[in-house]
Structure 1
Amino acid sequence: MAIFFNPENALKRAEELIKVGQKQDALQVLHDLITSRSFRSWQKPHEKIMFRYVELCVDLKMGRFAKDGLIQYRNSCQQVNLTSFEEVTKKLLRLATEKAEQTLDKETLDVDDPWFKFLWETYRTVLEILRNNSKLQALYAITAHKALQFCKQYKRPTEFRRLCETMRNNLANLEKYRDQRDRPDLTEPETLQLYLDTRFEQLNVATELGLWQEAFRSVEDIYGLMCMVKKTPKSSLLVVYYSKLTEIFWTSSSHLFHAYAWLKLFRLQKSFNKNLSQKDLQLLASSVVLAALSVPPFGQAHGASRLEFEIEKGRNSRMANIIGFNLEPKHEGGDTLSRESLLQELVSSGVLSCATQEVKDLYHQLEHEFQPLDFGSNTKPLLDRISKLGGKLSAAPSLPEVHLSQYVPSLEKLATLRLLQHVSKMYQTMKIEFLAQLVPFLDFSDVEKILVDAVKHNFVAMKVDHVKGFVTFGNLGIESDELRDPLTVFSETMNKVRAMLFPASSKRGDVAPNLEETVEKEHKRLLARQSIIEKRKEEQERQQLEMEHEEEMRKLNLRMQTEVAEQKRLASEVEDRRRQRILREIEVRELEKAQTLLENTERRWTNREERERKLLKLAKTMDYLERAKREESTPLIEAAYQQRLVEEIESHEREQQREVDLSRERHESDLKEKRRVTRMLSSESFGENMEIFQNRVIRLREAEFERQKREKEEHLQARKQERDVKRKRIYYSKCEEERIRKLQEEEEARKQRDAAGPSQSSAKYIPKFRLSQATEVSGSADDHQWGSRRPQHSGRGNAAPLVEGDQLGDGGERPGGDSWRSEEGRYSFRSSGPRSSFSSRTSQP
């Protein structure tokens, strides 16, 4: 497989192979490029490559290659440019359609041609790729419409069924995985309209192809779609929906639901079609009334099983829900949908009043009139006139052409049933010829079929006797001729059989003398036979008990052997399961490790490719931005430079002119000053005045110098005294702490000596009160000398040492830092004398 880092090189190589007639190799080259990693980020040359790729796929009829290429190109265009993918898909469909149209013979319609099959596979491939993608739903709808028209144009019922099933599965998967990304949202009006248009087109094609089962499933799809989104479609779509329902129900002989669908259609047209003329309204109302009259007056067959009844009830409920379509409250079951309730609703809602006069007369004739002998003659003219009514509705072009003649056969059947019902109430028997004359619009063979159907559904009770030429009405009992004659023959035959088996004896006197002896012998024989039977029974019971005991033992042994074998089998199965479980766990762990490693590798590759793609995209974006910025800023910079150059020239000229003016002014002022100084120098008192001025300035400066010197010396002296005071206080504090510590140590040593004994104490004893007095004296001296206001503490060891940073009694702070380390401080400490001299010095002001 050749690797092309530049896609245009691959396209050039494919063109070269096409020129030498190697299209297969050219397709393989482009296929390798499309499935490579470098093709995953979309670029503009990719679109040209895909156009050439689909052309080769169509020429070579390589549908599999086309599918792979479209999937890869969809993934690369998913987030960047889906319009390019749509163009490539449309071109594939267009090329496949053109090839199929060129090769198909319009006269013979050779639909088994390979190009025809390739076109069908192309439609299926495109629908599979475009399914359940919110960004491609418009193209999906267009492709679905084209596929439906394909099935309609070439009369392909099998492909149509597959197409309907494919779209049905796609919709089911959409509802099942609706939380995934890029899934169409059916609650959006545009998406819902696309799906509805596709389903209605599917319904139209199904009815035109005569596939009524698929048409009904399409109706169920539309109903399920509406239940899914809980929204009612537009009235124009509802009109098409109910018009197709009328055709489907009429074809399936569901006359009751056909009539209800016509009623819904009539209400829709009357409510939403403002251009409906009076003639069209009469035609629609007549269709509704005739559809209701065409419903058979009997229901389910008499004697049907409960299962059949439940199936029929479920079917009726399903049909009622589809007819209801959320416009009005749904019917709860099949019992509420009946011929009687429908006719009552037509009368109460005024539909019957909108129908033509012929339909009204027919309704009254069939439902309310009771004229058995004149019923057929009065009904036939009405049916003839109704069969001529119909036509296209001018204000409702979406509805099919209405023909009332389609209801005439059902109305003739209803008229026959009504006639038989009326005649059965007046007559018990009637000649067949007379009954045939009462039904002038049907042959008697047809009348007889209707009669059998009516008897089957328990609508009328009657019997036709062709031998005698009579029709008998009423309930037929067991004593009828049909049943009485066979019973008589059977009785006579049984009597003959009895006479042959037991003939009558003529010599009864010969039998009477030996009757008592015969009875005694027979009695003894019966007693002996009874004893033999009892013995045999006992023997049989004993043998039976032995056999049962043996059988019980055999079963017990067999059960024990079976239990032993079962335990062995269970043990072996447990061992096998344990071994298999261990092997399975090992395989699962290895598989998980391999899967984890593979996932990590794929994730790293994916992250790496994503980073590379982002960096490449960012680099391209920065290049484009920088180039665009430079292209836009170049003329602006040039214009700014020219403007700045002009401004600089003007500024330079202004500065130069201002400099010349200033120089001229300074020169003139200097000349004036020169003249004034010259005049002053030429004066006689100039020397004396100058000397007086100098002396005055010198005196002022000397006085200022002395003042500043004096202030500085005073400041230095104050700071020196302050440092001395701080230093002395620190020193005194340390000395006091040392003295008190020594006193405490001596006191501790004395206590130890006192505890050891009076003979061992050799140190000088210091009374406790003297120690306290010394402490008080030192404290008072300190207060007297330094003015400290520290609190007095009784006892020994309670003098708190003064540390650096504590507040002093006179409000000043203790010296901090390293100021005491200076030469001046060290000199002061060296020059300090004994304690008395130190105290005298500190007391000086």
Structure 2
Amino acid sequence: MAPSYNIRPENTLRRAEDLIAVDQKEAALQTLYDFITSKRIRSVAPLDLEPIALLFVELGVDLRSGKLVKDGLHQYKKNVQSNDSGLESVETVVKKFLEKAEAKLNDAQLKANDVAATLEAEAAQLEADDEDEDDENRQIVVSPEDVLMSSVSTDDTKDRSDRELVVPWLKFLWEAYRTVLDILRNNSKLEVGYAAVVSQAFGFCVKYNRKTEFKRLCEMLRTHLQTVTQKSAVKHQIENPIDLSDPDTLQRYLETRFNQLNVSVRLELWQESFRTVEDVHTLMTISKRQPKPSMMVNYYDNLAKIFNVSDNRLFHAAARQKFFSLFVQSPIATDEELKHYASMQLLSVLSVPVASSSKVDDFAKRKDNRLSMLLNLSKVPTRESLLTQVASRNVLSIVDPALAKLYELMEKDLHPISFASQAKDIFAFIESNKEFHMYIKPLTSVILDKLFEQMSEVYETVKLDFLVKLSTFEGQFKLSPIEIESRLLAAASNNLLSVKIDHEAKVVSFKTDTLENSLLSSIPLNVSSKIQYTPTEIIRTQLSSLANTLRESVMLIDPLASENEKTLKQKVSMRANAEFAEERQEVLDRALLLENRMKEVAEIKRRDEEAATKARYEKLAAVKKAEQERIEQETAKRLEEKRRKELEAIQKAEKKKLLNEINAKGIIKVDMDDIENLDGRKLQKMQIEKLEQDRKALEERIEATAKRFDYLERAQRRYELPMLQEDAEAQKGREMEVYEEMKQKLIANAKKEHEEALKIKHRLTRLIPDYEAFVGQKEQALWEEYEKKAAEAKEKLEAAKKQRIAEFIAKKKAEFEEQQKSLAQAEERLQKEAAEWEAKMSNLKYADKLKLKRAGQWPPVPPAHLQKYIKKEIK
């Protein structure tokens, strides 16, 4: 049975082309959509369906029917994916869809440029004409539309033309990318095409600076990846699942995320860049294959840019260090590039603050550990560790000599008075390179911190104007006096130094009294480190040094005083420790109570803020929902009206075409003027009535013709009956002769074959005794060989058993001897320790024995493990 009309692709294609020819593209698109979404096409080969799908997407792009194309492509994939070549066809169709959409966008861009150029030329011509006319005769030719547009809009002509012509196609192409990615996602056979489309979408976002669309694209890709990881547990239930354990697949996903990171940095979307870095790190932890060095170089470079924007100097320098350590290994790296990137690494390390606010809270620790993991570091880096790496990896020999000199000035030979003059040329060199400008501000802060710290150890008080003068540099490194003073206070708040500023006397005092020294001594070395003790500090502590010296002299002269002082000190220490423990517990209790109260206040504040935020969001959501419902209702009304008009136009065209077909067939004759009064049912009824009349007339003619043929057939058969009987008898005789001849031939052949078989049997009978004797010999030889090998195997087994038994006995004997030897050595060691203890106790001086007796420790009791070996009692 022939297939029905609706599932024959060529008929549907022809129908759509006919509709396009009469300018009925909407009807053609609907026809193709109905065919593609039909379940009956699942049995049709994808190669036959592909031309229809290609025409469908072309019409969809021309008419900008994105939703219809999206649904049609999803249904097309569902219908053909069970076929071997179905997914290849899907990939071909979606590529054509994107190519067509991109071509439309390019055409719109060219058209908008032409329109803008034409309008600008007309405006220039009008201005030229106005300049040629006299002031009295000059007329301003401005239309009312131009006046109204200029009053409500500040856009120029090109912006308006772009908004009218280009923006709709931009939105359509973006939706096309989303549709295609949704179709190609999470299918191992389509992952290559998926990666290519993602790359195209990234290029679209960069070319047209679509930041919002890029954020949505990243969220979409992140959702797709989460879907892959969530479905990994049930991948056996999914057709063609993505397998992230496959190295090629994981490498492809990594390349996509690296490309995404590059685009996000290029668009300066730093939060999205950081999320992408986390995605890349997650994939790298899954991957068993190390990414390409070029990718990792790009990864660390982008991380450094992200940390620079977030003003995280420490991790920016760590990222620069990881970048340079990989870049050095590149075989194509030139000396200039190595010098440039080494200089950037050194500047980034020098720009790390000397001291920052103490980060002891868990959040800061978790954050630093998280950032360290992103850099593949085993621990959180510090400024000292980064400087150590710079020195150990010979970076100073690669960098520019001016920067190497800056390193020497800052880290080894910092003189506050001469630093500005020594660093003048270095600062000019840094300012001459635009890529070094990002380090000017943090480098200035670090230099000032070190300069203030050095001055605090050289001076006790200093004029504020003098300090500002020493801290003022040239060029972009120059700060105002207020900024310098703020930097000084910041250094004090970071525990770099202790300072007081007297604005009335314009004096800066670096105070370091005894109490403050004790406080500073509790600060870690990396926060507060003194280069040397100044003469001022030495004079301030001379009295305490003299007291310590006198006390030591008294202890040497009078040992009993030393004993009394030690006893008194022990009592005081015990009492102080007891009071300190109580006071410490009270402080901890107060701190805990204060912390709990602060947490309660913060929780109440957070709840209030959450409630206010929730109410605000609910209100906004309600307003947005109402507005959305209104827009949807208006859109639905417009779509319904448009659909009704399109349906009326299609029905009218169908009526017209049907009338033409009816008139062309000549069944009935209908006047074209009556098309409004006729509908499909009336036309069908008129055709049916005409066809019924024709059918009845045809049946009458057929019945008369059948009667005539019946009479002629009966007469012909009566006339030929005797002839047929004679022919049958003759045929029977001929067939009997052939039968007898074939029978004789078969009998003769059978006899001949039987005689030949008997001859072969008699000839082979003589060989049977020899055959049986040969077989018997072979069996006897095989049996003897088997018995021999069995005996040998048995002997080897017995020998192996004896050897194992001997080895076991020898092993146990050796272990026993070793144990006895160890016991003897332990016994000897204990006897030796006991003898040494006896000798030590016997040789004690009388004063020592007296001390032990006063302490209740005489006579001495030997240790428990030596009591067995003590020969005499110590008295």
- What is the TM-score with the length of structure 2 in the denominator? 0.49
Q: Which amino acid is 1:151 matched to? A: C
SS in 2 for 1:185: coil
Alignment of 1:667-816 (within 5 A): none
The answer for the alignment partner of 1:427 in structure 2 is 459
Rounded to whole Å, the distance in 2 between the matches of 1:161 and 1:410 is 31
SS in 1 for 2:311: coil
Contact 1:131 1:140 in 2 (8 A): yes
SS in 2 for 1:352: coil
SS in 1 for 2:508: strand
SS in 2 for 1:167: helix
Q: Which amino acid is 1:438 matched to? A: L
Contact 1:298 1:459 in 2 (8 A): yes
The answer for the alignment partner of 2:413 in structure 1 is 369
Rounded to whole Å, the distance in 1 between the matches of 2:44 and 2:5 is 18
**Shift in Å, 1:234:** 0.7
The answer for the alignment partner of 2:725 in structure 1 is none
Alignment of 1:240-389 (within 5 A): 240-271=298-329, 273-301=330-358, 309-324=361-376, 330-332=377-379, 334=380, 337-388=381-432
Rounded to whole Å, the distance in 1 between the matches of 2:337 and 2:97 is 47
Q: Deviations over 1:244-298 (max 9, x none)?
A: 1111111111111111111111111222x12333333232222211111100011
Alignment of 1:401-550 (within 5 A): 403-441=435-473, 442=478, 443-474=480-511
Contact 2:498 2:511 in 1 (8 A): yes
**Shift in Å, 1:143:** 0.9
The answer for the alignment partner of 2:95 in structure 1 is 90
- Relative to structure 1, the CA distance from residue 97 to residue 296 in structure 2 (aligned partners, 3 Å threshold; closer, same or farther) is same
Q: Which of 154, 177, 180 is matched with 1:126 structurally?
A: 180
Q: Which amino acid is 1:385 matched to? A: F
Rounded to whole Å, the distance in 1 between the matches of 2:282 and 2:255 is 14
Q: Deviations over 1:543-582 (max 9, x none)?
A: xxxxxxxxxxxxxxxxxxxxxxxxxxxxxxxxxxxxxxxx
The answer for the alignment partner of 1:80 in structure 2 is 84
Larger deviation: 161-170 or 226-235? 226-235
Q: Tell me whether 1:59 sits opposite 2:117 in the alignment.
A: no
- Relative to structure 1, the CA distance from residue 476 to residue 161 in structure 2 (aligned partners, 3 Å threshold; closer, same or farther) is farther
Larger radius of gyration between Structure 1 and Structure 2: 1
SS in 2 for 1:80: coil
Q: Which amino acid is 1:470 matched to? A: V
Q: Which of 36, 45, 54 is matched with 2:38 structurally?
A: 36
**Shift in Å, 1:137:** 0.8
Contact 1:42 1:76 in 2 (8 A): no
Rounded to whole Å, the distance in 1 between the matches of 2:218 and 2:373 is 22
Contact 1:431 1:469 in 2 (8 A): yes
Contact 1:262 1:287 in 2 (8 A): yes
Rounded to whole Å, the distance in 2 between the matches of 1:164 and 1:218 is 8
**Shift in Å, 1:411:** 1.8
Q: Deviations over 1:388-440 (max 9, x none)?
A: 358xxxxxxxxxxxx23432322222111111111111222222211121023
Q: Which amino acid is 2:57 matched to? A: V
Rounded to whole Å, the distance in 2 between the matches of 1:477 and 1:446 is 31
**Shift in Å, 1:478:** 12
Rounded to whole Å, the distance in 2 between the matches of 1:33 and 1:281 is 63
Rounded to whole Å, the distance in 2 between the matches of 1:297 and 1:99 is 57
**Shift in Å, 1:477:** 11
Contact 2:247 2:289 in 1 (8 A): no
Q: Deviations over 1:66-86 (max 9, x none)?
A: 122212222333232133222
- What is the TM-score with the length of structure 1 in the denominator? 0.51
Contact 1:463 1:471 in 2 (8 A): yes
- Relative to structure 1, the CA distance from residue 451 to residue 42 in structure 2 (aligned partners, 3 Å threshold; closer, same or farther) is farther
Aligned-residue Cα RMSD (Å) equals 2.4
The answer for the alignment partner of 1:110 in structure 2 is 163
SS in 2 for 1:373: helix
Rounded to whole Å, the distance in 1 between the matches of 2:172 and 2:269 is 24
**Shift in Å, 1:90:** 0.8
Runs (5+) with no aligned partner, structure 1: 325-329, 391-402, 480-845
Q: Deviations over 1:297-333 (max 9, x none)?
A: 11225xx7x6xx2111111111111111xxxxx424x
**Shift in Å, 1:457:** 1.9
**Shift in Å, 1:13:** 2.0
Contact 1:242 1:262 in 2 (8 A): yes
Rounded to whole Å, the distance in 1 between the matches of 2:296 and 2:29 is 49
Rounded to whole Å, the distance in 2 between the matches of 1:208 and 1:146 is 16
Q: Which of 182, 194, 202 is matched with 1:140 structurally?
A: 194
Runs (5+) with no aligned partner, structure 2: 114-157, 517-875
Q: Deviations over 1:457-483 (max 9, x none)?
A: 22222233333322222259999xxxx
- Relative to structure 1, the CA distance from residue 278 to residue 96 in structure 2 (aligned partners, 3 Å threshold; closer, same or farther) is closer
The answer for the alignment partner of 2:751 in structure 1 is none
Q: Which amino acid is 1:404 matched to? A: F
Q: Which of 187, 190, 207 is matched with 1:153 structurally?
A: 207
Contact 2:499 2:511 in 1 (8 A): yes
Q: Which of 204, 209, 213 is matched with 2:267 structurally?
A: 209
Contact 1:377 1:440 in 2 (8 A): no
Rounded to whole Å, the distance in 2 between the matches of 1:177 and 1:223 is 21
**Shift in Å, 1:446:** 2.2
Q: Which amino acid is 1:380 matched to? A: K
- Relative to structure 1, the CA distance from residue 349 to residue 46 in structure 2 (aligned partners, 3 Å threshold; closer, same or farther) is same
**Shift in Å, 1:348:** 2.1
Rounded to whole Å, the distance in 1 between the matches of 2:195 and 2:419 is 56
SS in 1 for 2:415: coil
- Relative to structure 1, the CA distance from residue 424 to residue 417 in structure 2 (aligned partners, 3 Å threshold; closer, same or farther) is same
Q: Which of 231, 234, 257 is matched with 2:292 structurally?
A: 234
**Shift in Å, 1:166:** 0.4
Q: Share of identical aligned residues, percent?
A: 39
The answer for the alignment partner of 1:14 in structure 2 is 16
- Relative to structure 1, the CA distance from residue 363 to residue 149 in structure 2 (aligned partners, 3 Å threshold; closer, same or farther) is same
SS in 2 for 1:298: coil
**Shift in Å, 1:135:** 0.7
Q: Tell me whether 1:197 sits opposite 2:255 in the alignment.
A: yes
Rounded to whole Å, the distance in 1 between the matches of 2:310 and 2:442 is 14
- Relative to structure 1, the CA distance from residue 146 to residue 460 in structure 2 (aligned partners, 3 Å threshold; closer, same or farther) is same
Tell me the number of residue pairs that the alignment of Structure 1 and Structure 2 aligns: 452
**Shift in Å, 1:3:** 6.9
Contact 1:431 1:470 in 2 (8 A): yes
SS in 2 for 1:232: coil
Rounded to whole Å, the distance in 2 between the matches of 1:299 and 1:469 is 27
SS in 1 for 2:397: helix
Rounded to whole Å, the distance in 2 between the matches of 1:291 and 1:48 is 59
Contact 2:7 2:41 in 1 (8 A): no
Contact 1:40 1:72 in 2 (8 A): no
Q: Which amino acid is 1:102 matched to? A: D
Q: Deviations over 1:661-702 (max 9, x none)?
A: xxxxxxxxxxxxxxxxxxxxxxxxxxxxxxxxxxxxxxxxxx
Rounded to whole Å, the distance in 2 between the matches of 1:206 and 1:429 is 51
**Shift in Å, 1:369:** 1.6
